[in-house]
Amino acid sequence: MLIRLRLLDPGRVRLHIAIRTIIAALAALLLSWLVIRSADLPGGIVMIATVVAVLVSRSLHATSLPHRLSALVYVPAIGIVATFTGRFMVHHTWLGAAAFVGAVWASRYLMRFGGRVRRFGRLALTPLISVLVVPVPPDAARATGPLWGGAAGLIAVACVIAVQALLPARPTREAAAAAGDLRYAVTRLRALPPDGRHRPRAAAALHRTALTVDTRLTAARLPEGADRTPLDDLATAVLRAEVLAQEPTPEDPAATRGLDPAPDMAPDTALDATRETAPDIARDPAPDAVRDTPTDPAPDTALATALAGVRLRAVAVRGIRATERPAPEPPAPARRAGGWRDPQPQTRLAAQLAAAMAAGFVAGHLLFPQHWMWTVITAFVVCSAAQGRGDVVHRSGLRVAGAFAGALLGTLVAHLVAGAPAAAVVVIFCYLTVGIWLRDLNYAIWAFCVTSLLAVLYSLNGEHGDALLVQRPEGILAGSVCGIAAAFFVLPLRTETVMRGRAARALRALQELLAAVREPAPEPAAVRRLTRQVDRATKDLTEASASARAHRTFIRRTPARRRDAGTAHPADWADALTACAHAARALAATDAADLAAVRPQLGLTARNIGQVRRRLGHRPDATAPTEVRNAPAHLIRLNTALAQLYDRLPAPALSPATTAPPTTPNPSAGTVPATG
């Protein structure tokens, strides 16, 4: 159990972020409490400062010092506007709601630009949302002016900057800790049977741990003139250990995957088709590295040696002092040729957010006059970070599920701590710590924690009663409906469109990797960097396709039904692309001499990637990938995965005057139904 918990957060990176956030929130709470006590002001300012500190801490994470200092100006200024809007809504409900929606839309619209403008738009949302989370009561609105909202924002940002300066991230230590967790991940994976149902999850945990090591090493900024060789050595050792740990064993049926798939295989089982076949060794002589017998101890010996190297290099890296490099500024998206007739995705999402919040205000005030903010907050949450309409539905489902559980437990906890403000504050921060720590694992956890802590928070204002147990989930459900309706009817953005964009970046990174390994003298550092670039691009695709996978699971399509439909689910080709990245990872652990021996096969693989990219772009000149022979097993698996990805991608629509070319049989992928 403890090992699984460690592998949920390799290196405790997210836990450290959560701890820094909680410390900043506590500092903001105490400092703002001293201010309002000396000025004899209502306590709502304390909660606003605390909420802003939590939200700003996430926005200012891994940013440059000038950007953090600029937040001392931006956030208080927006806080004044947000507080004024909150006061205005107290006396002019609908005009104030319109002004609030306009401010949120403007902040979200700024995120369509790149660089600092995008970061400013993200920062501007924090004080606006804090007014909804902690609404200003009418008596407090009269007693406090808008300037106190700016003061709360200033206190929150100052506390966040101070905590991040006093407790900076230590990327080298976190990378070394994650490298130590790699041994547990490898042990857990190798202990599972080859066809065990828990093996994919264990493999994902291993990859997450290895990728965390590389990410933290990349984020490390050493003093000027310092040698990065120990960091590069650890990254190389971790990548090699990951490849060796995930290499199929001779008794593993997956060891023969990708050689001769069975005919008439459904797309969702094509990757596993070769479990029923055996490799033709006479036709496909493999190198010694991939011709291990069950009695050959070389694989386990090589893996043990690799893990020992990881352990030694992790000890060396742990002692290196380094600061965290600021994350690069996100570039501005390219302009679309359609102009205003075909808005950019960020423009579409900003319009959807405004429409969802407007509908949330109307539904909230009509259905829940006393708690209208629950509906508006939910509409904001499900649409603010959405990547497409499927993602809105998926996030809505997770939020509703987490909210129902959180409302139940939160209401019960609120009854237990009623009349004990100190205990209620402790419970709130416990919920907040767990939510911030685990929010990236599953959004339902974050929704559960936020709903529970809000139930306890509202109890401090005297809101009790069993009716809240039902009203809170009802308000959240109404807000989810508003968000889903906006995503489907206001400039909708299809999930598959987003997935294709992510897939295009992943395939481009994969082609760059193939170009690097085909060089006469491949540079190991460049090959490793490009390999991890493929991994990160595939991770982005996995996140964008989460709603598609949930939809595939929900409808429970059977292979027979998929053959009848003649089309593959979008999640199927996303899985095939993930398999491509998994097979390509072994290229970084291959010696230069072995790469030179298979340079023709690498060239053919690069051509196959080009054909898949054409298929993804609906190019009619795309042709099926060519089978690769006389190559190592991992290269054959890569080309088989490319062939299956090609087959799962929908064929381009042909014009009526165009005759479809005859289907070219693909020996590498078998006979797969057309995916038009």
Mean pLDDT of 291-300: 46
421 and 301 in a common domain: no
Same domain, 476 and 527: no
pLDDT value at 268 more than 70: no
- pLDDT of the residue at 541: 95
CA distance 204 to 192: 13
Q: Phi-psi bin for 115: left (phi > 0), alpha (psi -120 to 50), beta? A: left
Q: What are phi and psi of 652, to 5 degrees?
A: -65, 145
Write down the pLDDT at residue 5.
81
Distance CA 438, CA 378 (A): 19
Question: Where among 465, 492, 519 does a domain terminate?
Answer: 492
Residue 69 · residue 185 · CB < 8 Å: no
Structure-token match 């440059």, residue found: 64
Establish if 676 belongs to a structural domain: no
Q: Is residue 381 part of a domain?
A: yes
- Cα separation, 270 vs 641, in Å, equals 9
Give 672 or 135, the one with higher predicted confidence: 135
pLDDT at 309: 95
Q: Do 528 and 388 belong together in one domain? A: no
- 337 in a domain, yes or no? no
* pLDDT over 60 at 136, yes or no: no
Q: Is residue 347 one of the residues assigned to a domain?
A: no
pLDDT score of 174: 96
- The total domain count for the chain is 4
DSSP type of residue 323: E
| CA–CA distance, 416 with 87 (Å, rounded to integer) | 33
- The pLDDT mean for the chain works out to 83
Q: Indicate whether 254 pLDDT > 70.
A: no
Place of tokens 């491509």: 580
* Calpha distance 168→136 (Å, rounded): 34
Q: What is the mean pLDDT of residues 369-388?
A: 87
Tell if the pTM clears 0.95, that is, is over it.
no
Of 211-225, 336-350, 464-478, 649-663, highest mean pLDDT: 211-225
Task: Output the six-digit token pair for 384.
Answer: 């603010």
- The full DSSP string for 406-418 is HHHHHHHHHHHTT
Backbone angles phi, psi at 100, to 5 degrees: -65, -45
Final residue in a domain of this structure, among 168, 183, 199: 168
**Same-domain status, 120 and 176:** no
Are 359 and 467 found together in one domain? Answer: yes
Structure-block tokens of residue 342: 């075909």
Domain shared by 639 and 550, yes or no: yes
Residue 85 covered by a domain: yes
Residue 59 shares a structural domain with residue 207: no
- Structural domain ending residue among the three candidates 442, 463, 492: 492
- Bridge partners of 220, per DSSP, are 324
Structural domain includes residue 666: no
Mean pLDDT of 540-553: 92
- CA nearest 237: which of 318, 309, 320, 316? 309
* C-alpha torsion angle, residues 204, 210, 214, 217 (rounded to 10): 130
Query: Helix count (H) and strand count (E) of the chain?
Result: 26, 2
310 and 362 share one domain:
no
| Per-residue model confidence (pLDDT) at position 558 | 53
For helices 44-59 and 421-438, what crossing angle results, to 10°?
20
Do 162 and 175 share a domain, yes or no? Answer: no
- Same-domain check for residues 512 and 633: yes
**What residues contact 41, with CB distance under 8 A and at least 6 apart?**
35, 140, 143, 144, 148
- Whether residues 439 and 500 share a domain: the answer is no
CA-nearest of 368, 380, 370 to 100 is: 380
Question: What is the per-residue pLDDT across 499-529, written as a single tens digit (0 to 9) for each?
Answer: 999 999 999 999 999 999 999 999 999 999 9
Measuring CA to CA, how many Å separate 323 from each of 216, 219, 410, 586? Answer: 11, 8, 39, 31
Query: Does residue 658 lie in a domain region?
Result: no
Query: Which of the 8 DSSP states describes residue 655?
Result: P
SS3 state of residue 352: helix
| Structure tokens that stand for 448 in this block | 């559960």
- Domain region containing 5: 1-168
- Same domain flag for 548 and 642: yes
Q: Is 656 inside any structural domain?
A: no
- Give tens-digit pLDDT for 316-330: 999 999 999 998 877
